[in-house]
Amino acid sequence: MTPTLDAYVLLSAALFAIGFLGVVVRRNTLVIYMCLELMLVAATLALVAFSRFNGTEDGDVFVFFILTVAAAEVAVGLAIIVALFRARHTVQVDRLDSLRH
Amino acid sequence: MNQIAFVSLSALTLASALCVVLSKNAVNGAMCLLLCLAGIAGLFVQLHAYFLAFILVWVYAGAVVMLFLFIIMLLDMQGGQPWRFRPLQALSGFVAAALLVTGLDLLAVRGRLASGPPVGHGVGSTLKLYAYQLFTTYLLPVQVMGFLLLIAMLGVIVISRRTGEAEGSK
C-alpha cells in the first residue's frame, strides 16, 4: 500500500505551518531565515508529490527553479544579515526597530 | 512497506522541523534543519524523484546549511539567545498555522485532490525527458535563473564591500 496524495499534501502543509510558526514566534534573524527555508522546502514537497501523482514533469522542473532561487536568496540574505550585524551589533529583530512608528 | 517508510520519514521530518523552531541554540537549529532536509530527500526518493533528492542534499544540506553554520559561528551566536515567549505572537502564529492545516485537511477530505495511485514513471526513470523539458519548454526560465544567480552574486559582493568601506572609514 502506497501513501496517497492527500498524505503528502497534508505533510507539506504541516511543514509549511511549522515554518510559518517559527517565522512569527522566533526573534533571531538567522532562525527566522531557517524557518523561511523550511517553508520553501515544504512547497517543493507538495510540487513533487503533485507531479508524481499526475504523471507530469512540470512540478519537478519548478522544484529545480525553487532550489536555485533559494540558494540565491540565502546568499543575499545572509550577506545582508552580516552587514546588519556589523552596523547594529545585533541580529535580534526586537532591537532592529528603526522603521517602527 | 512503503507506508512504514512514509510514516517514519514524515515523523522524522516533522519532529526535526519542530526542533528548528523550538531550539534555543541556533547551531542546534541548523543541525535539525539538516535532519529535516534528509527526511525530505527520503520522501523525494519515495516519490521516485531521485535527481531532485540528490540536488536537495547537494544544494541545501551541502551549501545552504553549511552557509548558515558558517554565519552563525562568524557572528558568534553559539552561546544561545534568550528565547522569550510572547503570548500574542505565539497565539497568532498557532491560529494561522492551524487554519492553514485545517483548510488543506478539508480540501483533502472533500476529495478535491486526485486520490488515485501515482501514474507515470516518476522523474527518476525519465531523466532524459526532464532534461529535454528543461532545455525546450523551460529554456527562458533557465536563462532567467542564470541571470538571477549572477545578480545575486554581484549583490553579495556589493553588500559586503560597502560595509567594509564603512568599517575602514571609522
**Which long-range CB contacts under 8 A does B156-162 form with residues at least 24 apart?**
B156/A75, B156/A76, B156/A79, B159/A76, B159/A79, B159/A80, B159/A83, B160/A79, B160/A82, B160/A83, B162/A83
Residue B169 — very low, low, confident or very high, per pLDDT cuts 50/70/90?
A: very low
CA–CA separation, A23 and A38 (whole Å): 10
Quickly count: other Cβ atoms within 10 Å of residue B130's Cβ: 18
Residue B68 located in a structural domain: yes
pLDDT at B124 over 60: no
What's the average model confidence in pLDDT over B148-156? 94
Could you tell me the fold of the domain covering A5-91?
Helix Hairpins (1.10.287)
Average pLDDT score, chain B: 83
Determine the pLDDT at residue A58: 85
Contact A44, A67 (CB under 8 A): yes
How many domains in chain B?
A: 2
Residues 30-69 of A with CB under 8 A from B: 30-31, 33-35, 37-38, 41, 44-45, 48-49, 51-58, 60-61, 63-65, 67-69
Asked whether residue B109 is assigned to any structural domain, the reply reads no
B93 lies in some domain: no
Domain boundaries, chain A: 5-91
| A3 closest CB neighbour out of B3, B105, B113 | B3
Pull the grid cell for residue B12.
522524522
What percentage of chain A reaches a pLDDT higher than 70?
A: 98
Residue B117 belongs to a domain: no
- Domain of residue B69, CATH code: 1.20.120.1200
Strand partners, A92: A28
pLDDT tens digits, B51-71: 899 999 999 888 899 999 999
Question: Which residue range forms the structural domain that includes residue B50?
Answer: 1-80
Is residue B71 located within the same domain as residue B17? Answer: yes
pTM for the structure as a whole:
0.86
Structural domain contains residue B86:
no
Asked, for residue B113, whether it belongs to a domain, the answer is no
